Amino acid sequence: MSAITVTCTQYLTVVEEFTAAEMPSGGDRSLTHDVFNNHETRTSSSTPPVSKVYAKKLTGSQNLDFTALVPDVGDTIDATGLKLQYVMINNLSTANNVDWADGGANPYSINNTNPIRVPPGARLGPIYFADQLADVAAGAKAVAITAGAGQDYEVILVFG
C-alpha cells in the first residue's frame, strides 16, 4: 500500500486600502485580512491520520461507493472503518453545476443531508472535516455527484 502525506494549504489574503478621509492618521492606510490562513500536513501517524486517497477526473453524473472506489492507478479503494477527512471538487465546466449529495440507500453525509453545489468554473475546498464525520460503513458509504452529460470535474477524497 502506498504511503499518504496530505499537505493542505488554505490561504485567502485580502488587503483593504483606505482613503485619507477614512483613516486620517498618517502612514500605512492598509489593513490585511489573513487571520484564517492555514497550512497543515497529515500522515498515517498524525492525529487524525490519513491513509487512503481517491483522486480522479470524472465525467458526467456518478454514484461513488466509498467501499469500492476505482482509481486510475492501483487497487480498488475500500475506506470501510475510515472517516472522510478532506474533499475537494474542481468543476471544469464553464456552463454547468456539479452537485454533491448523499447517495442512495446507504448515504454518506458531509453536510447534514443538504446537497452542495459547485458552480461552473468553481472549486469546492479543500474542506477539512477534522475527524468529525461518520466512519464509512455498510449503511454510510455512498455519495451522488450530478453533472451534465460529458461534463468533466476533478475529485479528491482523503480518508483516515
Per-residue pLDDT of the chain (160 residues; tens, 9 = 90+): 678 999 998 888 999 999 999 888 878 889 999 999 999 999 999 999 999 999 999 999 999 999 999 999 999 999 999 999 999 999 999 999 999 999 989 999 999 889 999 999 999 999 999 999 999 999 999 999 999 989 999 999 999 9
What is the per-residue pLDDT for 27?
A: 84
Cell numbers 477524497 correspond to 157
Give CA separation, 125 vs 8, 82, 89, 113, in Å. Answer: 10, 20, 7, 18
Residue 13 near residue 37 (C-beta atoms within 8 A):
yes
What is the per-residue pLDDT for 1?
A: 64
For residues 68 and 71, give the distance between their C-alpha atoms in angstroms, rounded to a whole number.
Answer: 10
- What is the domain extent for residue 114? 51-159
Structural domains of the chain, count: 2
Would you state the cell numbers that stand for residue 30, as one nine-digit string? 492598509
* Surface-to-core class of residue 28, CB atoms within 10 Å of its CB (0-12 exposed, 13-18 middle, 19+ buried): exposed
Q: Is residue 45 part of a domain?
A: no
What is the per-residue pLDDT for 2?
A: 79
Residues 119 and 88 in one domain: yes
Residues 36 and 62 in one domain: no
Would you state the cell numbers that stand for residue 129, as one nine-digit string? 472535516
**Confidence (pTM):** 0.89
